[in-house]
Structure formats: structure tokens, C-alpha cells
Amino acid sequence: METRIDRIKKQLHAASYKLTPQREATVRILLDHEEDHLSAEDVYLLVKDIAPEIGLATVYRTLELLTELKIVDKINFGDGVSRYDLRQEGAAHFHHHLVCLECGAVDEIQEDLLGDVEGVVEKRWNFQIKDHRLTFHGICWRCNDRSSQDPPQ
């Protein structure tokens, strides 16, 4: 059976890049933390456990390469660091995010939801959409439930 790593290796080779041990270790960390939104520093600290010799610059370079190849998406939630998000295999669009202002949690919305909106934008603004970023800021379900347990004052 072809694994996810194998397919990424093919994508790299198709663009004439090698899947070096450092690159493979970095990809494995991303796969192992698919639901997280890791910064380059986060990835570096995690990857050092399985490849202690790796340098921070290599992690940055690898993440940049994976971004170019559209294997990961780079996103910024306004906290001064870029975060790297594995793109779902076969997903037409980048998924959306829910950032909780209270607890800081970042949840994902995999559904598209923007189909109609993109139709309007393409037609009315004559804009050819290649990608999008949609983030909602607010109170997540966890913090909502907690506050509804407490009666309002």
C-alpha cells in the first residue's frame, strides 16, 4: 500500500527535489500533528526528538519548500508567527479556522461553505480565485458551554 509519505516523496521528485532524511522527519512531524497548527519553532522542537542533528534553518527551508509545492499551507493568526497546516489530500480548497478569543483554541472547518460566495466574487469583481483564507474570531463551543453553565449577572 502506498503511504502518504510515499506520495509526498513522488511530489518532491516530480519537482526534482529529494526526500532527504531531514525532510522526511519534518513531514512525519507534520503528519503526526495534523490537527495542530505548528509554528516553525514548534516543528523544530518536535523534529529534534526524531532527528537530533537537524538545524532550524533546514526546518524553515523544508516548510518553505512544502508550501511551494502546496503540500502545506502557511497561515498567520495575527500572533506574529507563521503556522504550517498540512493540506488535506485531494482538497480543492484550504480549510477554514475558528480562533477562540477566550482560550486560544483553533478549530477547523473542512466543509467548503464558500461556494456561493466565490461564485459572486468571480462574477461581480471579475476576480479569478486561486486560494482563500477564512478565519472566524469568537467564542468556541467549549467556552460557550462553560459560560452558559454560569447564569448571566
Q: Note the residues at the interface with DNA (CB under 7 A).
A: 17-18, 20-23, 39-41, 51, 53-58, 60-62, 64, 80-82
Nearer to a second copy, 13 or 133 (CB): 133
Among residue numbers 18 through 57, which ones bind a second copy (CB under 8 A)? none
Residue 97 known to bind ligand: no
Q: Is 31 in the site for Zn ion (CB under 5 A)?
A: no
Farthest CA pair distance, the chain: 63
Q: Is 16 in the site for a second copy (CB under 8 A)?
A: no
Task: Specify whether the CB–CB gap between 30 and 78 falls below 8 A.
Answer: no
Task: Specify whether the CB–CB gap between 75 and 97 falls below 8 A.
Answer: yes
Site string for Zn ion, 37-76 (x = CB under 5 A): ----------------------------------------
Q: Is 139 in the site for a second copy (CB under 8 A)?
A: yes
CB of 55 to DNA, least distance (A): 3
Q: Is 85 in the site for Zn ion (CB under 5 A)?
A: yes
Task: Please name the helix (run of DSSP H) or strand (run of DSSP E) that holds residue 28, with its range, or none.
Answer: helix 21-32
- Report the alpha-carbon distance of residue 1 to residue 53 in Å, rounded: 31
Residue 33 known to bind ligand: no
Sign, Cα dihedral of 104, 77, 24, 58: negative
First-residue to last-residue Cα distance in the chain: 59
